[in-house]
Amino acid sequence: MIDSMLNIIPCIGVGEIIFGMTLDQVKTKLGIPDKEINPDEEGDIIYIYNTIGAFYFAIKEKFKLTSMELDVSPELMVFDTKIFNKYKNEILEIFNEREVEIDEMKDEEIVFETSIYFPNLFLTIFLNENDVSESISLGVMYNKNDEILWPQTKRVNIFD
């Protein structure tokens, strides 16, 4: 993972990659993706970077970045706290300190995968069979009319 991509700010992005960026803006920051998936007219365009994760650009939102799925690397942080190889109880403690609503889910189709969903943050942390952090999915916030609330600036932190 590149140095500028360290800290996840829920509902905003990670490092210099901010929700609402265009395909070209993300390419400028991260380089050419290792793989690009171009689905049908209804889906998203997906950029996959082998050492970082997947970035989803919504066609209906004029190809703006609306969600990410990041591999947990040694340097990745949430709330300025590294989450690599953290156990479920350690992750819950990080979010409990900020009084974030938590919803634990067990995926019945994938027997060994558990996830912790933070509904107010549009963020999910996926855990492996040992309850250790494996990947993180995050997305933009929506209002009650299902309209996207685009971040105004990358420096905003809704928890400070």
What does each of the 160 residues of the chain score in pLDDT, given as a tens digit?
444 467 898 889 998 999 999 999 999 999 999 999 987 666 788 899 988 899 999 988 989 999 999 988 888 888 888 888 888 888 888 888 888 877 655 444 444 457 888 888 889 888 887 777 888 999 999 888 989 999 975 444 444 4
Find out whether 11 and 141 touch, Cβ atoms under 8 Å: yes
Question: Bridge-partner residues for 114, per DSSP?
Answer: 106, 127
Instruction: Please tell me the pTM assigned to this model.
Output: 0.82
Place of tokens 């953290």: 86
CA 123, distance to chain mean position in Å, is: 6
E strand or H helix at 118: strand 114-118
Find out whether 84 and 133 touch, Cβ atoms under 8 Å: yes
Rounded CA separation 4/16 (Å): 6
Other beta carbons less than 10 A from residue 151's beta carbon = 19
Pairing of strands 7-9, 77-78: parallel
Rounded CA separation 84/22 (Å): 29
Question: Bridge-partner residues for 71, per DSSP?
Answer: 135
Tokens matching residue 34: 């290792």
Q: What pLDDT digit, counting tens, does each position of 46-92 carry?
A: 899 988 899 999 988 989 999 999 988 888 888 888 888 888 888 88
